[in-house]
């Protein structure tokens, strides 16, 4: 274990490494890989996905919502970002496996 010259302990910088980890390092030479500190952000103009963001290294990627059904309100809610909708596109998605564009079109039609 290195003795750090920073008063009060290591001062870490974070560098994205891969989809699940980042490198956390101090300029004293100490470094360790650790899992991202993930938070989920809604994307206002793209209702089919949310953004997965690491609050430490800034890593981010888009990911489809994971819905659960809310029986009382007849809504589907994403368990990660909280986005809710009456039309989660789950059925559309299974239809659209052979024709991915169909899903996008139907989302636009929602607002017409
Ligand atoms: Zn250090
Ligand atoms: Zn990270
Ligand atoms: Zn979501």
Indicate the domain borders of the chain: 1-35, 36-109
Q: What is the pTM of this model?
A: 0.68
Which-ligand-closest: CA of 47? 3
**pLDDT for residue 47:** 77
pLDDT digits (tens, 9 = 90+) for 42-95: 998 777 899 999 999 999 999 999 999 998 898 999 999 999 998 877 544 433
pLDDT digits (tens, 9 = 90+) for 2-17: 689 999 999 999 999 9
Which-ligand-closest: CA of 52? 3
pLDDT digits (tens, 9 = 90+) for 26-38: 999 999 999 999 9
Residues 76, 102: Cα–Cα separation, whole Å: 21
Residues 11, 45: Cα–Cα separation, whole Å: 37
Ligand 3 centroid to Cα of residue 61, in Å, is 12
Q: What are the residues whose beta carbon lies below 5 Å from ligand 1 (ion)?
A: 4, 10, 26, 28, 30
Ligand 1 centroid to Cα of residue 36, in Å, is 20
CA distances 94 to 35, 83, 87, Å, are: 32, 20, 13
């Amino acid at each position: 274990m290195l003795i750090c010259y920073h008063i009060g302990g290591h001062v870490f910088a974070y560098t994205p490494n891969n989809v699940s980890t980042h490198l956390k390092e101090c300029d004293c030479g100490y470094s360790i890989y650790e899992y991202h500190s993930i938070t989920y952000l809604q994307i206002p103009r793209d209702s089919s996905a949310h953004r997965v963001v690491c609050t430490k290294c800034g890593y981010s990627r888009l990911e489809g919502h994971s819905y659960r059904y809310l029986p009382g309100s007849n809504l589907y809610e994403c368990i990660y970002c909280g986005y809710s909708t009456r039309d989660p596109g789950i059925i559309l998605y299974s239809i659209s496996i052979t024709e991915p564009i169909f899903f996008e079109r139907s989302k636009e039609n929602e607002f017409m």
